[in-house]
């Protein structure tokens, strides 16, 4: 009889006890707003910013309401104006082009390779079409960041990194989010630290940090940002920068700080599960595993594989058969967006030309979450189920 998996693909681990205790303490004293402190108290939000800046090795950090807010703020802070064209990934999630649209700018999509990273040849070809690249490290895959920065530096392109799926990841030992001008991270429930919603913004650029702090709604309380630049940086910026409030509160920061302390351990646990799945899927008929590059330190909180040149009906059959056995797969090749899956031609507020090479890749991308609530045995079973169903469809009985 066929195995059926009984676990949940959306169930996260509980918040650490230390985070629960810290959150309760904040609720008991009632000072949830980041600027509501007494005496020499340092707000939980400030402590999180200092600790996260140290974790990634950035000079400055700002805690905000969401990863999407971090990206839109980054675009504003580096000078993107309405009608500007901003380069970004064709393979990404809706908040990335959404952040570009939120500031009135226009996304220009760059292709995706079979390794699910930004196509650097396409980037070089389009380098004259925008002065900013909002780079999505989509589903935790890092491209050759040295080569990307060479292309962008030569063309005068400012790089903002969307690290929603790469908190804890690195290229050649340099953390994601520290290669470009700004790194933006998400703390939404399905990311590597969970506060329901939340985001973090890092940069080494004092003026960019100052603008972001003012945009976030600091009023004239910017000196309380101990992970921000010196007060002199704000001298002119404070009068020129509108308040577009998007602060993180102390409750979410209190929940996140213990998770940051445990992040390295959690990343190791994710990769154990990822590698168990990858091993189980490798060599399955009709299925292509995404090979990771040796320069990449990744965090396997999700896994992807390709069904190259499969007919749409067969892909849908695989997704349906796996679902019947308890395994939730998401397909990025659907003609219409489903749930969080979508593609560059789904966002009809953008007049995007067709990208045939990327379309072929997108048509075969299958994606699956890897919650830490799964055991290694769970992962081995899930891989067996996917493998069995893929092989049944690829090699039907005669």
* Interatomic CA distance for residues 109 and 312, integer angstroms: 24
pLDDT at 397: 52
Q: What separation in angstroms does the CA of 262 have from each of 68, 193, 336? A: 24, 9, 38
201 has a pLDDT exceeding 50: yes
Q: Residue 360 is encoded by which pair of tokens?
A: 């072929």
Percent of the chain with pLDDT over 70: 99
Mean pLDDT of 272-278: 98
pLDDT at 398: 42
Percent of the chain with pLDDT over 90: 94
| Contacts of 105 by beta carbon, 8 Å cutoff, 6+ apart | 75, 80, 81, 82, 83, 84, 85, 86
Which domains does the chain show, CATH number per domain?
17-261 (3.40.640.10), 263-394 (3.90.1150.10)
Mean pLDDT of 158-174: 98
Averaged pLDDT score across all residues of the chain: 96
* Interatomic CA distance for residues 107 and 319, integer angstroms: 31
pLDDT at 365: 97
Give the residue among 349, 333, 332 at the shortest CA–CA distance from 341. Answer: 332
């Amino acid at each position: 009889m066929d195995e059926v998996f009984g676990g949940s693909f959306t169930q996260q681990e509980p918040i650490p006890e230390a985070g629960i205790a810290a959150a309760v303490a904040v609720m008991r004293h009632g000072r949830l707003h980041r600027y509501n402190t007494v005496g020499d108290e340092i707000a939980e939000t400030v402590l999180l910013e200092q600790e996260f800046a140290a974790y990634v090795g950035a000079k400055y950090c700002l805690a905000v309401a969401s990863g999407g807010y971090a990206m839109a703020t980054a675009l504003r802070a580096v000078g993107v104006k309405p009608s500007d064209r901003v380069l970004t990934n064709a393979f990404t999630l809706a908040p990335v082009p959404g952040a570009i649209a939120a500031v009135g700018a226009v996304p220009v999509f760059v292709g995706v390779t079979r390794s699910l990273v930004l196509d650097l040849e396409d980037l070089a070809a389009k380098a004259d079409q925008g002065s900013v690249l909002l780079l999505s490290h989509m589903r935790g895959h890092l491209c050759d960041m040295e080569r990307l920065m060479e292309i962008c530096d030569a063309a005068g392109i400012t790089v903002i990194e969307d690290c929603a799926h790469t908190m804890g990841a690195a290229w050649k030992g340099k953390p994601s989010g520290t290669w470009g001008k700004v790194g933006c991270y998400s703390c939404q429930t399905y990311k590597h630290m969970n506060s329901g919603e939340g985001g973090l913004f890092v940069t080494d650029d004092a003026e960019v940090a100052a603008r972001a702090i003012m945009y976030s709604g600091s009023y004239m309380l910017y000196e309380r940002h101990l992970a921000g630049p010196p007060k002199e940086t704000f001298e002119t910026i404070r009068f020129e920068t509108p308040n577009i409030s998007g602060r993180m509160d102390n409750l979410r920061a209190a929940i996140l700080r213990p998770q940051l302390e445990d992040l390295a351990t959690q990343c190791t646990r994710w990769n154990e599960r990822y590698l168990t799945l990858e091993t189980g899927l490798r060599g399955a008929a009709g299925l292509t595993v995404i090979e990771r590059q040796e320069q990449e330190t990744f965090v396997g909180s999700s896994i992807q594989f390709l069904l190259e040149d499969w007919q749409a009906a067969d892909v849908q059959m695989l997704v349906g058969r796996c679902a019947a056995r308890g395994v939730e797969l998401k397909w990025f090749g659907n003609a219409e967006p489903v749930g969080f899956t979508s593609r560059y031609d789904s966002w009809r507020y953008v007049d995007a030309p067709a990208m045939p090479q990327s379309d072929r890749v997108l048509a075969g991308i299958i994606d699956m979450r890897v919650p830490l609530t799964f055991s290694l045995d769970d992962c081995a079973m899930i891989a067996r189920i996917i493998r069995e169903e893929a092989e049944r469809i690829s090699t039907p009985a005669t």
